[in-house]
Amino acid sequence: MSETTTAERAKTFARSRRGPILGAIFLMATSAIGPGFITQTATFTAQLGAAFAFAILASVLIDFALQMNVWRMITVSGKRAGDLANSAIPFSGHVLATLIVIGGLAFNIGNIAGAGLGLNALLGIDAKIGGLLSALLAIGIFLYKRAGRVVDAVVMVLGIVMIVLTLIVAIVSQPPVGDALRQTFVPDELNFATITTIVGGTVGGYITYAGAHRYLESGKTGPEHVASVHRASISGILVTGVMRYVLFLAILGVVASGVTLDLSSQAANPAGQAFGAVLGDAGIRIFGAIFWAAAITSVIGAAYTSATFISTFSKKLGSGWPLQITTVAFIVVSLGFYLAIGAAPAAILVFVGGFNGLILPIGMTIFMYIGWFRQRDILGGYRYPVWLLVVGTLATLLTWYMGAVSIGPIFAFIGIGG
């Protein structure tokens, strides 16, 4: 009897840990494939055509190099990024947390705007009301006592829905796959501002840490769980990589057919135009469903991850009900800004992607410093793989370079600084 009870308890414990792990994978993936990425993909595919495939590949490779390091350091140490940075360089975690929260707030304004745009396309309701209803739904999720389980379920289900619907559109649009594959590796045009913006929208800011912070909830921390962390991070990167490329192919098929997407207005909706060109009214509805799913999961991811960084300033906010209330407050503030400023979603989402791409190298420099020089004390003597540090350092240097050469074009996109 006792052996049966022990076995049942072991199974229950395993199931309780599986949810946060799958949730971490999909939270990372859905945060990386938010309305910003969809808008950026449509915008840049219309401008660059098949050459944009190289930016997709670059984002996946940079994603791999950075996320593998972030997940491993956070889980080996058992500390969130802000606390981990403070352990290495006093107050650096506070600086990083401030930047992440500012970027997360800007992103979440765009996410709520994207949710409103998605419901407008899906159901025909006013975008402002759609944004309000979506934000209230996210608030309701975090007010629920077992918010963690709900978040895991929501991001998994909606993530799968996004992939399936986008795949359908990609098949119907009949993109020039051969040309796309060629230009994935040998592009006809290379644009660093584009790469920085897409990296910022899929890896930068809070997105870098979303999955790893959620993974900590599984309890599988410390060097003994490195293999599990490795599998989870790889799975998340693969999911995001597939989704990015499928979405790109869906838009490319439209552009290659001769359809011209309107990019002249800040209020333009290039992704919606592309889906409508493929399937007419049904395409607009499908776009609405995909865009809303991407937006609401990103609202959840941005709010949760930003709240975990806010806890850097007060440990009382780090878990349980205080963390949930902090997350709700973050969504409320984001909603307030959205309702007050009413900025166009496309302009916000593309700009914030670039802004978060500029934040990215700051946090990664701190992580690389820990990996190279502070393994013994901060990571508990864990022997960090040299190859992982090398690729992480190269990717970090690349993000610094891209940020430096792209800051002008990024701001110029929305008319700042010419």
d(CA 363, CA 80): 12
pLDDT digits (tens, 9 = 90+) for 287-326: 899 999 989 998 998 899 999 999 999 888 777 788 899 9
Render 75-127 in DSSP notation, one character per residue.
HHHT--HHHHHHHHSTTHHHHHHHHHHHHHHHHHHHHHHHHHHHHHHHH---H
Residues in CB range of 124: below 8 A, 6 or more apart: none
Report the range out of 187-201, 286-300, 337-351 with the highest average pLDDT.
286-300
What is the reported pTM? 0.84
Residues in CB range of 153: below 8 A, 6 or more apart: 19, 23
**pLDDT value, residue 3:** 52
d(CA 186, CA 194): 16
| CB contact at 8 A, 266 and 414 | yes
**pLDDT value, residue 10:** 41
Report the range out of 36-40, 178-182, 353-357, 404-408 with the highest average pLDDT.
178-182
Check whether 8 has a pLDDT greater than 90.
Answer: no
d(CA 303, CA 110): 12
**pLDDT value, residue 11:** 46
Task: State in words which class domain 18-412 has.
Answer: mainly alpha
**pLDDT value, residue 152:** 81
**pLDDT value, residue 366:** 93
* 16 band by pLDDT with thresholds 50, 70 and 90: very low
The whole-number average pLDDT for the span 149-164 is: 85
* 268 band by pLDDT with thresholds 50, 70 and 90: low
**pLDDT value, residue 411:** 54
Residues in CB range of 405: below 8 A, 6 or more apart: 192, 193
